[in-house]
């Protein structure tokens, strides 16, 4: 998709996606480098180059229907099937959870999914504040959902106005911010890649996008009679969370439409050039026939009031709640990972396929099946309330349970194939996307740890119950180092580049039993043989064992439990020599930092730290904990993230020498006199610069972010338009 989708969802999903970044809109992302190099930065003295921030959770369950433990999952993007949580924890019924969690800087809201012991769940969306307080299961168990948008009409406007005449927005790439009340007399035409941002309320007779973008921001409530989006790859309509757009006539978009808020259209025809994505509430309000020829992706609630046809060229993906209140003609492919309901007759024609995955549920009044229903992952349910007629080419395949309580009226031989069954016994819980569910779940607890098997990641192990990941189960953060400390380097931050992901294995009391880490070493842009390790904020003797480390050169001495000797805290050396990890067989000086040179496959190290007694989450510190390198086999020459403490084995005589200005007895550590670091941590992952390319040149807003003390362009590392000079990054061969 285009600029604004990327700006809001670059950390997800990878599919994911949520209008949840407190950053400059991509439309404003004109490169504004004000320095020739990182050495010229004027950085606030208290800034440590963090890309994360801490928030405090103060949550409780007041009166839940089941007595067992509930599982909280915290997301920074909309928790569709493609997203994964950044934090997980149990809460007892009637109890309180107070803890600090780390999230990417700039997130505007958090998505809290509460999972019950019977497998049902619901979603609560709360604004990000320093302390997030909320009570679940109060006032008839209704969750409270608050929405917050992206851009506004107070910032980033090239032209600010009220709509007092017809507007032709045609200043190239300018942002037109329109406030006030729209009286229904004046129309808007968008040309020449202009952006029109609507922040007011009222009626507009006509809006036409010939080349550009229209944004409906949070708080705006706009009613348009005719909304035309012509075919152009740069055209886009975006409705932000908290914004509302109503179109009272036919809506036939020919370019991209993205809704995070509320969209109501009287009639809909999705043309083949359109890519429609819904993360909020999208409703076709009348019974006019709806046609889908373009691609649709639904992560919210999508409702069609009348009859509809999904034609062969349409790629339709449903990750949450999809409703057709009339009849549905199904000629293409639908992929359903959540809940789809057809209120009338659902006709799946020959050659069409309804693909279901991981406990999805589809419901219809009547079914005429000439095509295929096929499941994958955990078993899904297709449910017919009245009549089923399946003809000769019909198939129900693989991981699907087909339920027609009245019996199938017409069916061919061999309708059910490859494990599909005819049954209504599958139990599917009610959740944030599926309001119906199926069956009556039984709460079971095989290991008697107080966590229902439905929620227990280790149902037969009473000492383990859940996994909590950082940055998330599906993503990595990046650690990037300069290795000439205490002297300045070239600030390409590629002397050693390591991706990380942590997995805390929790017991039923939210204590950490094991800490697992995956480290992916990607680049070695220096000639020095550096080691890499981490320090946890607990004593070394609380660790029972460490596995997965590599000692190539014998310079590290370890205790019997695998931690490093001579340390008061638990220090784990992942490896002592990066040159033995990324073995350079290319004949070149550096590994994976010079474009055009042969590349080496990244190395993956899986580390497991077992604790002799379970540790509180707080006692371990915050991921990525205290990662460091030691330079060129000199154990005492440690390089840490700015503001982090040296370990007991660091050579204190190096502090304050050459370019370093560390005060080892305070918080000003591993920074120069002009507050520059020797390492950066990028929580959202990081494409590092090519050899000898300054990070401030590769990333246009790194310098703005640093000099603002982390306030501006908090996602400077995202692949958004104008953010990155791609030619300055390393590209693997």
Residue 414: give the domain boundaries.
287-440
Are residues 124 and 164 located together in one domain of the fold? no
The domain spanning residue 113 has which CATH number? 2.60.40.4150
Q: What are the structure tokens assigned to 338, written together?
A: 């959540």
Are residues 337 and 224 located together in one domain of the fold? no
pLDDT category of residue 16 using cuts at 50, 70 and 90:
very low
Q: pLDDT tens-digit profile of 599-645?
A: 999 999 999 999 999 999 999 999 999 999 999 999 999 999 999 99
What per-residue confidence (pLDDT) applies to 12? 32
Q: pLDDT tens-digit profile of 296-321?
A: 999 999 999 999 999 988 999 999 99
Residue for token digits 């026939």? 289
Of 93, 111, 136, which marks where a domain is finished? 136
Of 136, 159, 192, which marks where a domain is finished? 136
Q: Is the pLDDT of residue 354 over 80?
A: yes
Per the model's pLDDT, the better-predicted residue between 413 and 660 turns out to be 660
Helices and strands, counts by H and E, the chain = 4, 48
Are residues 601 and 724 located together in one domain of the fold? yes
Tell me if 466 is assigned to some domain: no
Are residues 277 and 320 located together in one domain of the fold? no
Which residues sit opposite 213 in a β-bridge? 195, 236
Q: pLDDT tens-digit profile of 184-238?
A: 999 999 999 999 999 999 999 999 999 999 999 999 999 999 999 998 888 999 9
What per-residue confidence (pLDDT) applies to 29? 53
Tell me if 363 is assigned to some domain: yes
What per-residue confidence (pLDDT) applies to 733? 75
Are residues 536 and 610 located together in one domain of the fold? yes
CA distance 315 to 335: 8
C-alpha closest to that of 304 among 279, 323, 331, 277: 323
- In 62-200, the DSSP E strands lie at 70-75, 87-91, 96-104, 109-115, 121-127, 131-136, 159-162, 167-169, 175-179, 181-183, 188-190, 194-198
Tell me if 467 is assigned to some domain: no
Q: pLDDT tens-digit profile of 67-85?
A: 789 999 999 988 876 788 9
Are residues 118 and 174 located together in one domain of the fold? no
pLDDT category of residue 36 using cuts at 50, 70 and 90:
confident
Are residues 381 and 488 located together in one domain of the fold? no
CA distance 648 to 567: 6
Q: Is the pLDDT of residue 718 over 50?
A: yes
Are residues 278 and 297 located together in one domain of the fold? no
Q: Is the pLDDT of residue 92 over 70?
A: yes
Please compute Rg for the chain using Cα positions.
Answer: 28
Are residues 278 and 382 located together in one domain of the fold? no
Q: Are the CB atoms for 197 and 217 separated by under 8 Å? A: yes
H or E stretch at 24: none
What per-residue confidence (pLDDT) applies to 520? 98
CA-based torsion, 446, 449, 454, 459: positive or negative? negative
Tell me if 145 is assigned to some domain: no
Of the listed ranges 23-27, 355-359, 691-695, the one predicted with least confidence: 23-27
Q: How many domains does the chain have?
A: 4
Give the contacts of 548 (CB within 8 A, at least 6 positions apart).
574, 605, 606, 607, 608
Q: pLDDT tens-digit profile of 689-699?
A: 999 999 999 99
Q: What are the structure tokens assigned to 666, written together?
A: 């305070």
Work out the average pLDDT over 483-501. 98
Q: pLDDT tens-digit profile of 508-552?
A: 999 999 999 999 999 999 899 999 999 999 999 999 999 999 999
């Amino acid at each position: 998709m285009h600029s604004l989708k990327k700006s809001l969802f670059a950390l997800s999903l990878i599919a994911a996606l949520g209008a949840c970044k407190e950053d400059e809109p991509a439309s404003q992302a004109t490169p504004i480098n004000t320095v020739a190099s990182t050495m010229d930065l004027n950085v606030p003295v208290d800034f440590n180059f963090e890309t994360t921030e801490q928030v405090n959770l103060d949550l409780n369950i007041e009166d839940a229907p089941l007595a067992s433990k509930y599982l909280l999952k915290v997301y920074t993007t909309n928790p569709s099937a493609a997203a994964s949580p950044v934090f997980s924890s149990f809460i007892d019924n009637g109890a309180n959870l107070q803890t600090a969690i780390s999230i990417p800087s700039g997130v505007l809201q958090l998505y809290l999914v509460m999972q019950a012991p019977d497998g049902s769940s619901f979603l609560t969306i709360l604004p990000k504040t320093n302390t997030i307080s909320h009570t679940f299961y109060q006032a008839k168990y209704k969750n409270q959902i608050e929405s917050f948008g992206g851009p506004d009409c107070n910032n980033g406007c090239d032209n600010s106005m009220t709509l007092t005449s017809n507007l032709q927005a045609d200043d190239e790439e300018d942002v037109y911010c329109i406030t006030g009340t729209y009286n229904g007399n004046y129309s808007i035409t968008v040309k020449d890649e202009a952006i029109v941002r609507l922040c007011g309320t009222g009626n507009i007779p006509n809006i036409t996008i010939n080349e550009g973008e229209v944004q409906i921001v949070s708080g705006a409530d706009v009613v348009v009679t005719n909304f035309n989006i012509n075919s152009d790859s740069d055209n886009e309509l975006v409705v932000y969370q908290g914004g509302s757009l109503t179109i009272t006539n036919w809506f036939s978009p020919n370019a991209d439409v993205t809704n995070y808020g509320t969209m109501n259209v009287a009639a809909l025809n999705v043309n083949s050039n359109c890519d429609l994505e819904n993360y909020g509430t999208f409703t076709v309000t009348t019974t006019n026939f709806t046609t889908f020829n373009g691609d649709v992706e639904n992560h919210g609630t999508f409702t069609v009031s009348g009859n509809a046809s999904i034609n062969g060229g349409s790629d339709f993906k449903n990750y949450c709640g999809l409703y057709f209140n009339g009849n549905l003609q199904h000629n293409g492919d639908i992929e359903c990972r959540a809940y789809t309901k057809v209120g009338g007759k659902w006709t799946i024609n020959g050659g069409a396929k309804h693909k279901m995955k991981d406990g999805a549920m589809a419901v219809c009044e009547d079914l005429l099946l000439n095509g295929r229903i096929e499941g994958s992952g955990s078993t899904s349910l297709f449910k017919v309330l009245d009549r089923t007629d399946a003809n000769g080419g019909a198939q129900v395949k693989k991981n699907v349970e087909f339920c027609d309580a009245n019996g199938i009226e017409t069916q061919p031989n061999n309708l059910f194939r490859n494990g599909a069954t005819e049954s209504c016994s599958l139990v599917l819980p009610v959740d944030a996307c599926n309001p119906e569910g199926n069956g009556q779940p039984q709460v079971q607890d095989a290991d008697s740890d107080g966590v229902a098997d439905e929620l227990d990641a280790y149902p037969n192990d009473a000492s383990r119950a859940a996994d909590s990941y950082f940055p998330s189960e599906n993503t990595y953060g990046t650690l990037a180092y300069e290795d000439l400390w205490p002297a300045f380097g070239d600030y390409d931050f590629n002397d050693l580049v390591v991706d990380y992901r942590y997995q805390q294995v929790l017991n039923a009391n939210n204590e950490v039993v094991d800490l697992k880490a995956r480290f992916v070493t990607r680049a070695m842009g220096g000639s020095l043989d550096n080691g890499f390790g981490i320090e946890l904020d607990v004593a070394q003797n609380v660790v029972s064992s460490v596995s997965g480390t590599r000692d190539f050169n014998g310079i590290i001495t370890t205790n019997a439990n695998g931690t490093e000797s001579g340390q008061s805290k638990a220090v784990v050396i992942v490896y002592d020599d990066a040159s033995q990890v990324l073995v350079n067989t290319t004949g070149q000086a550096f590994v994976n930092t010079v474009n055009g040179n042969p590349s080496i496959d990244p190395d993956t190290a899986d580390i497991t730290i077992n604790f002799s007694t379970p540790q509180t989450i707080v006692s371990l510190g915050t991921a990525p904990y205290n990662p460091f390198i030691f330079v060129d086999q000199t154990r005492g020459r440690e390089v840490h993230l700015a503001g982090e403490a040296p370990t007991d084995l660091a050579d204190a005589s190096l502090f304050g020498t050459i370019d370093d200005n560390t005060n080892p007895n305070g918080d000003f550590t591993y920074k120069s006199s002009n507050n520059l670091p020797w390492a950066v941590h990028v929580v959202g992952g990081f494409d590092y610069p090519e050899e000898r390319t300054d990070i401030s040149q590769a990333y246009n807003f790194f310098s703005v972010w640093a000099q603002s003390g982390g306030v501006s362009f908090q996602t400077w590392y995202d692949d958004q338009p104008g953010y990155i000079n791609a030619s300055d990054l390393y590209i693997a061969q």
